Amino acid sequence: MTTEAVTNSTCLIGLERIGQLNLLPMVFSTVYAPPMVATEVKTPLSWLTVKPVQNVGVVATLKTQMDAGEAEAIALAMELGDVLLILDDKKARRVAQQLNLKVIGTVGMLLRGKRQGVISEIKPLIMALLEADFRISEGIVREALRLSGEI
């Protein structure tokens, strides 16, 4: 099972809003982010490995379809290889999946944490994210609670 991840800023910002940033390094052995994501988050995180993207051409191409942080995160995941890519934006996820990257969202990361025993319940965290204006569709909430055995 993949133990390393590349994250976009959405997951980091959402977890920061609910005081749960510590979950990412508990769920993954290494969490990478490209410089643009680190800049967007603005909170220095000792456990976050900021790694510049080498292929700026890929980033430039991806930026025609999505924001710079998502483009850099996808390009970095392509360069690193066997990592999970944490993306929540539907369009960016679709592009990443077309590039054969393994993609999960913030809710998927919470499910992974529950499976690993890092999180005992995901429902309170999902509810906190929703209260903090983190957009999660009703369908994703229902499916996550079903998969976690919490409904």
pLDDT tens digits for range 30-56: 999 999 999 888 888 999 999 999 999
Look at residue 43 in the predicted model and tell me its pLDDT. 82
Look at residue 44 in the predicted model and tell me its pLDDT. 85
Residue 131 in any domain: the answer is no
Residue 18 in any domain: the answer is yes
Residue 33 in any domain: the answer is yes
Can you spell out the DSSP letters for 45-91? -TTEEE---S-HHHHHHHTTTS-HHHHHHHHHHHHH-S-EEE---HH
Q: Domain tally for the chain?
A: 1
* pLDDT surpasses 80 at 143: yes
Residue 16 in any domain: the answer is yes
Residue 114 in any domain: the answer is no
User: In terms of residue numbers, what domain contains 67?
Assistant: 4-108
Mean pLDDT score across all residues of the chain: 95
pLDDT 10s digits, 70-109: 999 999 999 999 999 999 999 999 999 999 999 999 999 9
Strands 102-104 and 30-33: unpaired
| Domain of residue 81, CATH code | 3.40.50.1010
Residue 137 in any domain: the answer is no
Residue 39 in any domain: the answer is yes
Strands 48-50 and 30-33: parallel
Compute the average pLDDT of residues 132-148: 95
- Per-residue pLDDT band for 9 (boundaries 50, 70, 90) equals very high
